[in-house]
Amino acid sequence: MANQSLNLLRRSASTDTPPVTGGQTIEVAKLIDVSKCIGCKACQSACLEWNNLREEVGVNVGVYDNPHDLTPNSWTLMRFAEWDNPDTGNFEWLIRKDGCMHCQDPGCLKACPAPGAIVQYTNGIVDFVHENCIGCAYCVKGCPFNIPRISKVDHKAYKCSLCSDRVAVGQGPACAKACPTAAIMFGTKEDMKKQAEKRIVDLKSRGYANAGLYDPAGVGGTHVMYVLHHNDKPEIYAGLPHEPKISPLVAAWKGTGKVLALGALAFAALGAFFHHTVVGPNKVSEHDEENAAELAEEGKSSKTEARPV
Amino acid present at 45: S
- 259 touches another protein (CB under 8 A): no
- 17 touches another protein (CB under 8 A): yes
- 36 touches another protein (CB under 8 A): no
- 208 touches another protein (CB under 8 A): no
- 264 touches another protein (CB under 8 A): no
Site for another protein in 114-173 (CB under 8 A): 115-116, 119, 127, 129, 131, 161, 164-166, 168-169
In the set 28, 109, 133, 179, which binds another protein (CB under 8 A)?
179
Strands of 184-188's sheet in order across: 184-188, 28-33, 224-228, 212-214
Phi, psi of 166 (to 5 degrees): -75, -45
99: which strand partners?
76
Amino acid present at 89: G
- CB contact at 8 A, 206 and 215: no
- 73 touches another protein (CB under 8 A): no
- 40 touches another protein (CB under 8 A): yes
d(CA 27, CA 6): 11
* Cα dihedral sign, 223-224-230-234: negative
Shortest approach of another protein to residue 287 CB, angstroms? 20
Cβ-based nearer residue to another protein, 11 or 230: 11
In the set 29, 31, 42, 228, which binds another protein (CB under 8 A)?
42
Q: Which of 126, 127, 115 is nearest to 14 (CA)?
A: 115
Phi, psi of 271 (to 5 degrees): -55, -45
- Judged by the rule CB under 8 A, the positions of this chain that interact with another protein are 1-3, 6-8, 11, 14-19, 40-42, 44-46, 48-50, 54, 115-116, 119, 127, 129, 131, 161, 164-166, 168-169, 174, 177-180, 182, 262, 265-266, 269
